[in-house]
Amino acid sequence: MSAAVIDGKAFAERLRERVAEAVPAFASRAGRKPGLAVVLVGDDPASRVYVRSKGKATLAAGMASFEHCLAEATGQAELVDLVQSLNRDDRVDGILVQLPLPRHIDDKAVIGVIDPAKDVDGFHVENAGRLAVGEEALVPCTPLGCIMLLKDRLGDLSGLEAVVVGRSNIVGKPMAQLLIRENCTVTTAHSRTRDLPAVVRRGDIVVAAAGRAEMIKGDWLKPGATVIDVGINRIAGKLVGDVDFESAAATAGAITPVPGGVGPMTIAVLLRNTLTAAHARAGLPAPEGL
């Protein structure tokens, strides 16, 4: 068996095009463009690349982009003041504070200040709670992108057994909640799971978000499983996922590559979340087809 490769880059491009097509109608009705504010604190090279990419994608979709780049030494109170000013700014529909923040700043305290209606990263406890109890919420971009790829590949996910490897607040936990919402039977596995390969082998769907390079091997997988690899790890200058792609591709039915799988979906879903937030804030029905 040779697994089909799930082209996240192509799917993400189509999603970005659909968002861009929907922006003019919103601007016509609301009298303004949807706006995304991205806040970067410090000089982390990877974060700078992400922020630059997000800004370019926002402008390419016809939205307004507001970038705030602050010095590494910026205090928590100053950052909180900025976020509160963005909460009050009617031009801004989405606020994203790029993580990680410098050590002297409490991530949770800053995220907790973001208006939940503008929390396009879906990290605010109110949005996390809404997702957990099955209410409408702004959902973290990476897990939502994974769900989109799964539904595009498999259609109805009802009744499938899904294993999520990883329990972070950013990916693992919201991923499990989204799969439950799709009527999957979900197991969340982690570093304390006993006989992890046997647990993973139950999955019709396996989402790898453990943060350990090439941890999941092909013989851990049920033949024909659909594998979504969220991991991004650098080994000897090469990007690899949390799944050993070569051995997994020999067993799986379909698999996302690294790079080119889940990664491109994150920014595309961020644009989608911003447009969705803009509609809600303007009292307009949610955009269709996104």
Strands 64-70 vs 226-229: parallel, antiparallel or unpaired: unpaired
Q: 93, 115, 121, 204: which is the annotated catalytic residue? A: 121
| Residues facing residue 65 across a β-bridge | 36
Active site residue 121: yes
CA 265 to CA 285: how far, in whole Å? 24
Active site residue 9: no
Q: 98, 173, 229, 244: which is the annotated catalytic residue? A: 98
Strands 161-165 vs 205-208: parallel, antiparallel or unpaired: parallel
CA 179 to CA 166: how far, in whole Å? 14
Q: 33, 54, 118, 173: which is the annotated catalytic residue? A: 54
CA 264 to CA 8: how far, in whole Å? 6
Strands 233-235 vs 238-240: parallel, antiparallel or unpaired: antiparallel
- Numbers of helices and strands, H then E, in the chain: 10, 11
Active site residue 98: yes
Q: How many CA atoms lie within 13 A of 174 on its CB side?
A: 25
**Residues with catalytic roles:** 54, 98, 121
